[in-house]
């Protein structure tokens, strides 16, 4: 029994964490607001760093000449308790190649807030619902003195030019600042934008496949093999119900064909998931932001797992009262397999979505679809492999001397473990919904 507990404890460590590998992924809109209290005036340096998917959705907006004024409407600057208008002094937009042939975008603006006062407050309400780095800084120069400030004087991300890697899991979330000061008597000098490059966006292996120029048959085959590999690698990151697959197949009368069926269900679910999210990103971008769907998909996945666990538990308890349970158990197994497979494939990988959007923008939809199916197959192969491993481990255990008690306890204990893992996933997915 002790060994079983250890196995289950090990599997619990594989339980899913967040769907995105790190917050500054392909979905992010990162914001920086630098309040510059210079001499007798107040200036604001505002910067936005858009990753691939927001650039794809919002890119046209940043081509419009009035974008700086548009953004200023949601930048609330107050001096001595009264909101003041922001006058645009300078702007700059820079595009850089991002993942999969898509672009990323950096936008900077310098605003004049007018004459300084005794207190200054700023609130940034642009892209409020979007994921990303959010930072506000308050600086003084030319004789102005800071008496108190709710914001730091230095930017940790160097004004979104270089994000500190140790903080990527917990990005800055500050969108407002209040400060009291004694203004200087010298005339203020506005900040300059200079010509520093935007933060580099490193293209991952999978996204780079779609952007290759000349596609001969050899290169297409190589790309598909690499997509399989990246899918398999992605399956080894947290999530995708690996623990549930193993526990389910150990506890139910899982055979090799069940593990293979599970792989098929994961492939189909993941491919459909990526395409559905792609349609949402393209057609409904005004109404739904793709990353807001992720927490809900996390919750659906978790509730599916709880449902599987409870139905397995119910059928195991029933079995003690019934002798002839084979037909019922087979029927239940099929239902459970579908639910476990869907919970494993329902979270579309963000890099797969980037590949799909890149395929559409490069007019390579067919090739993009092939790559995503190959990626999903790679993902499913690892999950199938884990299933087959679990089944063979069970057979090894069942030949051992403690076979009787161990094998009898296994179905009920594994069902309880599935419920427990499902509940842990549910609790984890709830805070991200708010």
The reply to whether 192 and 307 lie within a common domain is no
Number of neighbours of residue 408 by Cβ within 10 angstroms = 10
SS3 291: helix
Q: Where a domain ends, among 155, 172, 203?
A: 203
**Contact call for residues 132 and 111 (beta carbons, < 8 A):** no
Identity of the highest mean pLDDT range in 26-30, 98-102, 193-197 = 26-30
Number of neighbours of residue 122 by Cβ within 10 angstroms = 23
The better pLDDT of the pair 427, 376 is held by 376
**Contact call for residues 250 and 418 (beta carbons, < 8 A):** no
Would you say residue 36 lies in a domain?
yes
> How many structural domains does the chain have?
2
Is the pLDDT at 93 greater than 80? The verdict is yes
What digits encode the pLDDT tens for the residues 322-378?
Answer: 544 444 455 557 677 777 777 777 777 777 777 777 777 666 777 777 888 888 888
Would you say residue 397 lies in a domain?
yes
The reply to whether 191 and 117 lie within a common domain is yes
The reply to whether 158 and 245 lie within a common domain is no
What digits encode the pLDDT tens for the residues 154-186?
Answer: 988 888 888 777 666 667 788 899 998 888 888
Would you say residue 263 lies in a domain?
yes
The reply to whether 181 and 210 lie within a common domain is no
The reply to whether 173 and 214 lie within a common domain is no
The reply to whether 181 and 268 lie within a common domain is no
Give me the pLDDT at residue 72, please: 93
Q: Where a domain ends, among 203, 225, 251?
A: 203
The reply to whether 245 and 276 lie within a common domain is yes
The better pLDDT of the pair 287, 419 is held by 419
User: What does the alpha-carbon distance between residue 257 and residue 263 come to, in Å, rounded to a whole number?
Assistant: 10
Give me the pLDDT at residue 67, please: 92
Q: Around 181, how many Cα atoms within 13 Å sit in the side-chain half-sphere?
A: 33
The reply to whether 61 and 109 lie within a common domain is yes
Would you say residue 331 lies in a domain?
yes
Would you say residue 10 lies in a domain?
no
Task: Output the average pLDDT for the chain.
Answer: 76
The reply to whether 127 and 250 lie within a common domain is no
Token pair, residue 253, equals 């009368």
The reply to whether 122 and 219 lie within a common domain is no
The reply to whether 249 and 179 lie within a common domain is no
- Per cent of the chain over pLDDT 90 is 17
Would you say residue 215 lies in a domain?
yes
Sign of CA dihedral 304, 308, 309, 313: positive
Is the pLDDT at 126 greater than 60? The verdict is yes
Would you say residue 20 lies in a domain?
no
Give me the pLDDT at residue 311, please: 75
What digits encode the pLDDT tens for the residues 242-295?
Answer: 667 777 776 666 778 888 888 888 888 888 888 887 777 766 655 666 667 777
User: What does the alpha-carbon distance between residue 351 and residue 376 come to, in Å, rounded to a whole number?
Assistant: 12
Per the structure, the complete domain to which residue 60 belongs is given by 29-203
Would you say residue 117 lies in a domain?
yes
Over residues 123-137, the mean pLDDT reads: 89
In this prediction, residue 58 has a pLDDT band, given cuts at 50, 70 and 90, of: confident
- Is pTM beyond 0.75? Reply is no
The reply to whether 137 and 211 lie within a common domain is no
Q: Where a domain ends, among 186, 203, 220?
A: 203
**Contact call for residues 362 and 208 (beta carbons, < 8 A):** no
Is the pLDDT at 3 greater than 50? The verdict is no
């Amino acid at each position: 029994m002790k060994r079983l507990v250890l196995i289950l404890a090990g599997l619990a460590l594989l339980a899913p964490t967040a769907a995105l590998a790190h917050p500054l992924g392909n979905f992010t809109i990162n914001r920086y607001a630098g309040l510059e209290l210079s001499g007798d005036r107040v200036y604001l340096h505002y910067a936005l760093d858009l990753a691939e998917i927001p650039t794809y959705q919002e890119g046209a907006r940043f081509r419009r000449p009035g974008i700086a004024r548009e953004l200023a409407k949601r930048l609330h600057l107050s001096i001595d308790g009264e909101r003041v208008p922001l006058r645009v002094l300078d702007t700059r937009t820079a595009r850089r190649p991002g993942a999969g042939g898509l672009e990323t975008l950096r936008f900077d603006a310098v605003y004049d807030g007018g004459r300084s006062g005794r207190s200054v407050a700023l609130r940034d309400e642009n892209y409020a619902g979007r994921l990303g780095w959010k930072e506000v800084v308050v600086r003084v120069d030319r004789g102005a003195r800071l008496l108190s400030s709710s914001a730091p004087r230095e930017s940790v991300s160097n004004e979104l030019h270089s994000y500190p890697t140790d903080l990527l899991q917990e990005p800055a979330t500050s969108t407002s600042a209040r400060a009291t000061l004694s203004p200087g008597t010298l005339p203020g000098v506005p900040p300059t934008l200079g010509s520093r490059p935007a933060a580099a966006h490193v293209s991952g292996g999978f996204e780079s496949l779609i952007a290759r120029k000349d596609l001969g048959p050899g290169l297409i085959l190589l790309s598909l093999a690499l997509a399989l590999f990246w899918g398999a690698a992605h399956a080894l990151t947290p999530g995708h119900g690996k623990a549930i697959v193993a526990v389910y197949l150990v506890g139910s009368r899982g055979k090799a064909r069940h593990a293979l069926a599970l792989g098929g269900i994961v492939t189909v679910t993941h491919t459909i998931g990526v395409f559905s999210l792609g349609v949402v990103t393209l057609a409904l971008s005004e109404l739904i932001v793709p990353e807001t769907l992720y927490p809900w998909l996390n919750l659906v996945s978790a509730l599916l797992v709880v449902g599987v666990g409870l139905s397995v538990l119910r059928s195991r308890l029933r079995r003690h009262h019934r002798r002839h349970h084979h037909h019922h158990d087979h029927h239940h197994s099929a239902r459970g397999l579908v639910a476990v497979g869907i919970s494993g494939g329902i979270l579309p990988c963000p890099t797969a979505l980037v590949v799909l959007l890149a395929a559409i923008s490069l007019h390579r939809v067919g090739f993009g679809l092939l790559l995503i199916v190959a990626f999903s197959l790679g993902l499913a192969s690892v999950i199938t492999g884990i299933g087959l491993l679990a089944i063979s481990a069970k057979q090894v255990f069942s030949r051992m001397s403690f076979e009787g008690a161990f094998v009898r306890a296994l179905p009920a204990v594994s069902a309880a473990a599935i419920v427990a893992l499902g509940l842990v996933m549910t609790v984890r997915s709830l805070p991200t919904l708010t």
